[in-house]
Amino acid sequence: MAKTATVRSWGEIWQAYTDRRVMGMLFLGFSAGLPFPLVFATLSAWLNDAKVEKATIGFFAWIGLTYSLKVFWSPIVDRVQLPFLTRWLGQRRGWMLLAQVGIAAGLFGMASTNPALHLTAMALFALLVAFSSATQDVSLDAYRIEAVGADLQGMMAGMYQSGYRIAASLVGGAVALYLAQWTSWHMTYLVMMGCMSVGIITVLLIREPPHVINQGTQQMEQRVIDYLEGNQHLPPLIMRFNAWFIGAVVCPFVDFFRRNGKSAMFILLFIAIYRIGEIVLGNMANPFYLDLQFSKIEIANISKIYGVLMTILGAMIGGSMVLRFGVMRILLLGAVLVTLSNLLFAQLAVIGHDLGWLTFVISADNFSGGLAGSAFIAYLSRLTNTAYTATQYALFSSLMTLFPKTIAGFSGIIVGTYGYPVFFTYAAMLEVPAIIMVLYLMYRQAKSGDA
């Protein structure tokens, strides 16, 4: 953990936002957010227009497993050098560019396919987009962590979230639907393919960050390799593969437990539950709005306008506050705000159909999520060792949604049995253990002199 950071003035914080690396994250975040709706919500709308059966549309959700499984190929992104691209751009930028080209190719394939006639081909092109997008996430997260010091990680997270939400909610969501209404789905996906040039140009303009492996990590890695290689009589090729596999796959996990000692399992548990209240609530948000008799247009306008703006505001303020006050205090503030915003949903459930209250609740929910997200991303970034950035962060990002999404599966049962006020109160209470764990981590760090 880093030592307590020097308190920055607001002028210094503003100046930090003008850093080229921080500004670049806005465009890289856009590149990361754009593919997501194009293989989920927006694609579902296209398939529905093409008269594809609802059950088949539902199966397309399995494409999203690529985002949860990216940890399995993250060691390749971390360690394998790409012919020509790595030499030209470096490890992180080379993989980002390859992934972006894969996304663009997949979007072009989708734009050229009629799902009513060639549904399997559409599924394969969508899978290419999702796989390439998840790969881009792995390399992009590694770049973000390695490009700046720990003090600027909150700013990087804030800019990343802002770009991501602009792309995912506005461009890949609302704008794509408008284009499909005015032109065609095929033209819409061609335009979205063109929007990927934002990320490609950014990758070509930014600088490759240094990839540092300190001496202690190198020695640890060699000890693990020596310990696990039981048979020294294997062919040289097999021995080299074993050494690579141990260094790229085994050592990232050994390193995390070695550095964090007895606290390692506690930290992993904290990662697994920090976002639980936000994710559980989100699973039932749209059905709740509809049950209160809000129209789809009202929901879309408020969530796409106020929701996106408040998420960006929360992300930017969260990133600034991390730089000024430290990551742990803002983690605590974010968890408290998420809890309170969940309780606002319970209040809206009692009030009923009220457009002003809906605007207020959605705004509060998105602001708290943006602020907490910046702090959490900064916290996870600080947990990584730059020798294994991609692999370790992929593990954390997969873990932080696995348990909450599992629990969220029972949301409908709770709503059906007890009603919305009880459900939203339950979602708020789920966040309380995260608050307690943050307080404990703050106590531990204060006791050891860390921030």
Hey, is 450 helix, strand or coil?
A: strand
Among residues 211, 226, 260, which one ends one of the domains? 211
Among residues 326, 335, 319, the alpha carbon closest in space to that of 450 is found at 326
- Is the pLDDT at 3 greater than 60? The verdict is no
Phi/psi region, residue 449 (left: phi>0; alpha: psi -120 to 50; beta: rest), is: left
Please, which pLDDT band fits residue 391 given cuts at 50, 70 and 90? confident
Please, which pLDDT band fits residue 237 given cuts at 50, 70 and 90? low
> What is the pLDDT at residue 4?
44
pLDDT tens per residue across span 135-178: 999 999 999 999 988 888 888 988 999 999 899 888 998 888 88
Residues 442/333, Cβ–Cβ less than 8 Å: no
Residue 295 class from Cβ within 10 Å (0-12 exposed, 13-18 middle, 19+ buried)? exposed
Mean pLDDT, range 315-319, rounded to an integer: 90
pLDDT tens per residue across span 71-129: 889 989 988 999 999 999 999 999 999 999 999 999 999 999 999 999 999 999 999 99
- Is the pLDDT at 361 greater than 70? The verdict is yes
> What is the pLDDT at residue 299?
79
Residue 394: inside a domain, yes or no? yes
Among residues 192, 211, 230, which one ends one of the domains? 211
Domain shared by 242 and 346, yes or no: yes
| Token pair of 419 as six digits | 């009603």
Please, which pLDDT band fits residue 10 given cuts at 50, 70 and 90? low
Mean pLDDT, range 419-434, rounded to an integer: 94
Residues 362/141, Cβ–Cβ less than 8 Å: no
Domain shared by 201 and 260, yes or no: no
> What is the pLDDT at residue 227?
59
Domain shared by 147 and 296, yes or no: no
pLDDT tens per residue across span 267-279: 999 999 999 998 8
Domain shared by 200 and 265, yes or no: no
Residues 372/380, Cβ–Cβ less than 8 Å: no
- Is the pLDDT at 19 greater than 90? The verdict is no
Residue 226: inside a domain, yes or no? no
> What is the pLDDT at residue 1?
41
**194 Cβ neighbours under 8 A, 6+ residues apart:** none
More confident: 45 or 427 = 427
Among residues 409, 404, 383, 408, the alpha carbon closest in space to that of 395 is found at 383
- The sign of the dihedral angle between the CA atoms of 334, 335, 337, 341 is positive
Residue 351 structural domain: 238-451
Residue 231: inside a domain, yes or no? no
Q: Which of 30-34, 53-57, 89-93 is least confident?
A: 53-57
Alpha-carbon distance of 322 to 316, in angstroms, equals 10
Domain shared by 180 and 264, yes or no: no
Residue 309: inside a domain, yes or no? yes
Domain shared by 137 and 254, yes or no: no
- State which amino acid sits at residue 64: G
More confident: 341 or 445 = 341
Residues 279/405, Cβ–Cβ less than 8 Å: yes
Domain shared by 373 and 245, yes or no: yes
Q: Which of 167-176, 228-237, 239-248, 381-390 is least confident?
A: 228-237
Domain shared by 205 and 245, yes or no: no
Alpha-carbon distance of 8 to 316, in angstroms, equals 16
Residue 440: inside a domain, yes or no? yes
Residues 322/154, Cβ–Cβ less than 8 Å: yes
pLDDT tens per residue across span 173-206: 888 888 988 999 999 999 999 999 999 999 999 9
Alpha-carbon distance of 89 to 108, in angstroms, equals 25
Please, which pLDDT band fits residue 356 given cuts at 50, 70 and 90? very high
Q: What are phi and psi of 370, to 5 degrees?
A: -65, -45
- Is the pLDDT at 306 greater than 90? The verdict is no
Domain shared by 336 and 401, yes or no: yes
More confident: 357 or 248 = 357
- Is the pLDDT at 56 greater than 50? The verdict is yes
Residue 220: inside a domain, yes or no? no
User: In CATH, what number is assigned to the domain containing residue 16?
Assistant: 1.20.1250.20
Residues 385/146, Cβ–Cβ less than 8 Å: no
The domain tally of the chain equals 2
> What is the pLDDT at residue 341?
95
- Is the pLDDT at 310 greater than 70? The verdict is yes
| Token pair of 182 as six digits | 């005015």
- Is the pLDDT at 451 greater than 70? The verdict is no
**68 Cβ neighbours under 8 A, 6+ residues apart:** 398, 401, 402
| Token pair of 207 as six digits | 């600088």
Q: Which of 247-251, 291-295, 312-316 is least confident?
A: 247-251
Please, which pLDDT band fits residue 217 given cuts at 50, 70 and 90? low
Alpha-carbon distance of 189 to 107, in angstroms, equals 6
Mean pLDDT (the chain, rounded): 86
Please, which pLDDT band fits residue 230 given cuts at 50, 70 and 90? low
Domain shared by 206 and 242, yes or no: no
Mean pLDDT, range 11-39, rounded to an integer: 87
- State which amino acid sits at residue 437: M
Q: Which of 30-39, 163-172, 299-308 is least confident?
A: 299-308
Domain shared by 192 and 246, yes or no: no
Q: Which of 74-88, 236-250, 293-307, 386-400 is least confident?
A: 236-250
Q: Name residue, tokens 């310990």.
A: 227
- Is the pLDDT at 350 greater than 70? The verdict is yes
- Is the pLDDT at 2 greater than 50? The verdict is no
**34 Cβ neighbours under 8 A, 6+ residues apart:** 103, 167, 168, 171, 172, 192, 195, 196, 199
Residue 228: inside a domain, yes or no? no
Domain shared by 246 and 387, yes or no: yes
What share of the chain has pLDDT > 90, as a percent? 49
Residue 86: inside a domain, yes or no? yes
